[in-house]
């Protein structure tokens, strides 16, 4: 177990009807609020009206910025920053999924920064301060509602980059709000959560049974309840558990003292940057391929994953087989969510593999991953396994 520092100040307000607390909670931070959201779904569902009512009851002045798209754009972040500065806005309220929250996160940092907000992403400038912001989560998946990470896409080059900002001051999580989600979005979210756990699980750090078991606990929950929630997102009792698992999966409490990987996420970022692919779908195609390429690096860890998460019976005389059965079980899990399993399923041509691989390593300027450090040639092999 390595040394670590952990702190997570986000206040979680979880459960049925909790969106009605948003006005009172927001009033603790400000009087002029940027209400940030995506498309029309929150208006159709009635959530928009509930939020506006709760804010107005608490005498909060509302400035609106809707229209955040999946893979949120830098141009809208800049628009949000200008709106906040021009109107002395003192709080941002993000109502939506990971894209809306990430956009709000970047606006928060940009408002308190003298330079250009893209500096955080492109130049690695460290965010020192931010406008406080809160969230109402409508799509459990990215975990951004309880962490400091944020991914934004630059409009002209389609570069997709990450940066760190303040945590949300509060996040309101009510699985009732997810009941009307399209099924494929529910499934994408489930895949994303599990991926956040696997990126933490596959590590070279030793003496970490405590966090291994904590990660396994959530992986088991997701593997067991994920298909149920996919079949019926209106089942609150199940979706509430999945929602909480998704938040904890990526709130950085489970990777304390251990090296994490993230190679698969990096390859997927290139994929969904170049092609119009849902993040979850990209991960479902790439994760088994990554595993098949790297599992012999530590067969014991993959065998532990297979037995503890997927109840594969350990073959003591052939642990490599046990390990491989775990990968097959993961593919079967993805199938139960009707996920694509190959690049072909995603309509990505084999001819793009070379470019994808070299983009992921910036032409071999960097490696990706920690469990196994991957060069361009390795990523190419992984993509070939994903054909």
Smallest CA-to-CA distance from 197 within 265, 270, 135 is with 265
**Burial state string for 262-286 with b = 16 or more CB within 10 A and e = fewer than 16:** bbbbbbbbbbbbeeebbbbbbbbbb
Measured from the Cβ of residue 326, the count of other Cβ atoms closer than 10 Å reads 22
Of 118 and 165, CB closest to a copy of itself: 165
Of 241 and 260, nearer to a copy of itself (C-beta) is: 241
CA distance 178 to 146: 18
CB-based contact 119:125 (threshold 8 Å): yes
Query: Cβ closer to a copy of itself: 259 or 381?
Result: 259
Q: What is the DSSP string of 229-292?
A: HHH-TT-HHHHHHHHHHHHHHTSSSSSTTS----HHHHHHHHHHHHS---HHHHHHHHHHHHHH
Q: How far is the CB of 262 from a copy of itself (least distance, A)?
A: 22
Phi/psi of residue 260, nearest 5 degrees: -115, 170
Q: Shortest distance, CB of residue 12 to a copy of itself, whole angstroms?
A: 4
Q: For a copy of itself, which is the closer residue by CB, 196 or 265?
A: 196
Instruction: Between 129 and 338, name the residue whose CB sits nearer to a copy of itself.
Output: 129
80 versus 246: smaller Cβ distance to a copy of itself:
246
- Among candidate residues 66, 48, 64, 58, the one with its CA nearest the CA of residue 26: 58
CB of 179 vs a copy of itself, minimal distance in Å: 15
Cβ at position 33, least distance to a copy of itself in Å: 21
Whichever of 221 and 325 has its CB closer to a copy of itself, that residue is 221
Specify the DSSP class assigned to residue 136: E
Residues that bind a copy of itself (CB under 8 A): 1-16, 18, 206-211, 213-214, 216-218, 220-221, 224-225, 237-238, 240-242, 244-245, 248, 253, 256-257
Inter-residue contact 71 to 99 (CB < 8 Å)? yes
Q: What is the nearest approach in angstroms of a copy of itself to the Cβ of residue 132?
A: 14
Query: Computed from CA positions of residues 58, 62, 67, 71, in that sequence, does the dihedral angle turn out positive or negative?
Result: negative
Distance in Å, CB of 116 to a copy of itself, minimum = 30
Q: C-beta of 218: minimal distance to a copy of itself in Å?
A: 7
């Amino acid at each position: 177990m390595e040394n670590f520092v952990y702190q997570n100040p986000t206040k979680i307000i979880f459960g049925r009807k909790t969106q009605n607390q948003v006005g009172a909670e927001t009033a603790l931070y400000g009087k002029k609020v940027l209400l940030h959201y995506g498309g029309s779904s929150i208006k159709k569902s009635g959530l928009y009206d509930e939020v506006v009512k709760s804010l107005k009851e608490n005498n909060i002045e509302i400035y609106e910025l809707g229209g955040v798209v999946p893979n949120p754009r830098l141009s809208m972040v800049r628009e949000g920053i200008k709106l906040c500065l021009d109107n002395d806005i003192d709080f941002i309220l993000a109502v939506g999924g990971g894209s809306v929250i990430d956009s709000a996160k970047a606006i928060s940092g940009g408002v308190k920064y003298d330079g250009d907000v893209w500096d955080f992403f492109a130049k690695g400038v460290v965010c020192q301060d931010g406008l406080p912001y809160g969230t109402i989560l409508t799509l459990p998946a990215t975990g951004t509602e309880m962490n400091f990470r944020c991914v934004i896409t630059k409009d002209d080059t389609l570069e997709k980059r990450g940066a760190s900002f303040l945590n949300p001051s509060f996040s309101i999580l009510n699985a009732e709000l997810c009941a009307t989600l399209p099924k494929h979005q529910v499934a994408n979210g489930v895949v994303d959560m599990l991926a956040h756990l696997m990126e933490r699980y596959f590590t070279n750090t030793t003496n970490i049974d405590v966090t291994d078991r904590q990660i396994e606990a959530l992986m088991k929950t997701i593997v067991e309840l994920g298909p149920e929630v996919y079949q019926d997102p209106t089942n609150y009792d199940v979706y509430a558990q999945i929602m909480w698992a998704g938040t904890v999966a990526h709130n950085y409490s489970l990777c304390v003292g251990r090296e994490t990987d993230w190679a698969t996420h990096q390859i997927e970022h290139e994929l969904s940057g170049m092609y119009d692919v849902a993040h979850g779908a990209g991960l479902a195609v790439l994760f088994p391929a990554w595993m098949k390429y790297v599992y012999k690096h530590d067969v014991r860890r993959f065998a532990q994953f297979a037995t503890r998460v997927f109840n594969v019976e350990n073959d003591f005389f052939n642990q490599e087989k046990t390990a491989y059965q775990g990968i097959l079980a993961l593919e079967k899990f993805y199938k139960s969510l009707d996920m694509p399993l190959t690049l072909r399923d995603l309509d990505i041509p084999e001819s793009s593999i070379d470019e994808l691989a070299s983009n992921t390593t910036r032409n071999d300027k960097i490696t990706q991953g920690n469990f196994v450090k991957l060069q361009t040639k390795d990523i190419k092999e992984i993509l070939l396994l994903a054909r």
